[in-house]
Amino acid sequence: MVRFTETMKNRTILVTGGTGYIGSHTVVELQKQGYKVVIIDNLSNSKKNVVNSIKKITGVKPGFKNFDLCDFKKTQNFFKKNKNISAIIHFAAFKAVGESVEKPLDYYNNNLISLINILKCASEFRVNNFVFSSSCTVYGQPDKLPVSEGFPFSPANSPYGSTKQMCEEILRFSSDKININTISLRYFNPVGAHESSLIGELPNGTPNNLVPFITQTAIGKRKCLNVFGQNYNTPDGTCIRDYIHVVDLAKAHIKAVDYLYKDKNKSGYKVFNIGTGTGYSVLDIIKTFEEISEKKLNYKIVDKRKGDIEKIWANTKTANKELDWRAEKSLKEMLSSSWEWEKKINKKS
């Protein structure tokens, strides 16, 4: 059992997008460490009952406000009424690569305006610690692998990736000027679910990510899994990604907040890769899932999808050393927890 200090108990952290997939797991880890949490979420890609699931796991119900951060007046009013916020973890954003290709203006409007609004309010109300949910998509298709934090950005492959690049540029140029210490966590492909199976990835409509599409196919929600392309320059021709368990990823955010509270961020703006450092292909994921679930997946190869990067995995040495963080869970643990979550929400054994 964690022994909480009075300092920790008195610290309140705002988590935007906190009822979402990664946000909810991060709220759980924050509360386990004794932090008070307030969530802002417009529920565009999540459900309010996640707040009750968080309480079941931790014994503590986080604060919750339902509004859109693109509304500056509502955002400002929140900060006026909640002057005890000491740090912000900003997840709230549209996040689907494929959808962003079809709806680019929606992504630019939502992801940029929400960040700008919350930074203005953080500056006005002197909230000096800020952790940003970034993504490996900022690298585009890197020339060398594994990709390190110092690599230059390649042209973004999607509007989603472009918004993450632009958000990072906003933070890099403005953090010092508005007196906010900022960390951007560039994470790779989060998968898995909490061991309780009370929270997990629950996409609205058709999943945009591989693993929920796999589990929905295995459970019978989807007739067939589409594999987008098999002629990439990879060992089996399918895309390669660095998959990380969502709980490992959530713990990286706690390490980032602690890093800021301890005033270790001397530059004002710092970035860290958050991944495992190992790349797996789409067919690797399918094969491993079939092994752990004992289910044969119905899948077919279809045309490549616009916006997809061919292959990418992380160099995580900086996060391992400076944040004292490293991924612990295996690919089988990631996929097993995803499968248990899928069965739980469909009430199948």
Q: Answer whether residue 126 shows pLDDT above 90.
A: yes
Q: Print the domain residue range for 48.
A: 11-191+244-276
Domain presence at residue 101 = yes
User: What contacts 67, CB < 8 A, 6 or more positions away?
Assistant: 40, 42, 74, 75, 78
Q: How far is CA 296 from CA 141, 214, 272, in A?
A: 32, 11, 37
pLDDT digits (tens, 9 = 90+) for 133-155: 999 999 988 989 999 999 999 88
Give me the pLDDT at residue 3, please: 39
Structure-block tokens of residue 321: 């050393």
CATH for 93: 3.40.50.720
Kindly state the percentage of the chain with pLDDT values over 70: 97
CA distance 266 to 175: 12
Answer yes or no: is pLDDT of 4 > 50: no
Domain annotation covers residue 325? no
231-236 contacts at long range (C-beta below 8 A, 24 or more positions apart): 232/304, 232/310, 232/311, 233/310, 233/311, 234/281, 234/310, 234/311, 235/281, 236/281, 236/283, 236/284
Query: CA–CA separation, 290 vs 303, rounded Å?
Result: 23
Tell me the pLDDT band of 5, cut-offs 50, 70 and 90. Answer: very low
Q: What is the pLDDT of residues 299-325, one digit of tens each?
A: 999 999 888 889 999 999 999 999 999
Structure tokens at 179: 């007196």
Residue 79 in any domain: the answer is yes
Active site residue 160: yes
Residue 97: pLDDT band with limits 50, 70, 90:
confident
Give the span between the Cα atoms of 325 and 296, in whole angstroms.
36
Among candidate residues 25, 93, 83, the one with its CA nearest the CA of residue 54:
25
Distance in angstroms (rounded) separating the CA atoms of residues 154 and 172: 17
State the pTM of this model.
0.94
For range 286-308, the mean pLDDT: 94
Q: Which of 172-181, 200-209, 247-256 has the lowest mean pLDDT?
A: 200-209
Does residue 315 belong to any structural domain of this protein? no
User: Is 40 contained in some domain?
Assistant: yes
Residue 130 forms part of a structural domain: yes
Assess if residue 139 is contained within a domain.
yes
For residue 314, give Cα distances in angstroms to 186, 272, 307, 321, 322.
Answer: 9, 10, 19, 14, 16
Point out the catalytic residue in the list 160, 259, 269, 280.
160
| Side-chain half-sphere exposure of 55, counting CA atoms within 13 A | 12
Indicate the pLDDT class of residue 206, thresholds 50, 70 and 90: confident
Residue 206 lies in a domain: no
pLDDT > 90: what percent of the chain? 86
Residue 212 has pLDDT above 70, yes or no: yes
For residue 303, what is the DSSP state?
Answer: P
> Does the structure show a pLDDT above 50 at 36?
yes
Give 18-29 as a DSSP string: TTSHHHHHHHHH
Reading the block at residue 89, the tokens are: 């973890």
pLDDT at site 8: 59
Where are the alpha helices (H) located in 302-348, listed in sequence order? Answer: 317-318, 331-345
Return the pLDDT at 9.
55
Q: How many domains does the chain have?
A: 1
pLDDT of residue 204: 79
